Amino acid sequence: MPPVVVRLQKFLADAGVASRRASEALILAGRIKVNGRVVQVLGSRVNPEQDAVTVDGKPARLKRKLYVALNKPRRYVCSRKDEKGRDTVYDLLPREWSNVFTVGRLDYDSEGLILLTNDGEFSLHLTHPRYGVAKKYLATVEGRVNEDAARQLGRGVLEAGEWLRARAVRVHHSGPSGSLVEIELTEGKNREVRRMFGALGLAVKRLKRIQIGRLKLGELRPGRWRTLTDGEIKTLLTKI
| Residue numbers annotated as active site | 107
Q: Which residues of 187-209 are buried (b: 16+ CB within 10 A; e: fewer)?
A: bbeebbbbbbbbbbebebeebbb
Strands 111-117 and 204-212: parallel
**SS3 sequence, the chain?**
CCCCCEEHHHHHHHCCCCCHHHHHHHHHCCCEEECCEECCCCCCEECCCCCCEEECCEECCCCCCCEEEEEECCCCECCCCCCCCCCEHHHHCCCCCCCCEECCCCCCCCEEEEEEECCHHHHHHHHCHHHCCCEEEEEEECCCCCHHHHHHHHHCEEECCEEECCCEEEEEEEECCEEEEEEEECCCCCCHHHHHHHHCCCCEEEEEEEEECCEECCCCCCCCEEECCHHHHHHHCCCC
Cα(48)–Cα(20) distance, rounded to whole angstroms?
16
What span, in angstroms and rounded, lies between the C-alpha atoms of 66 and 54? 23
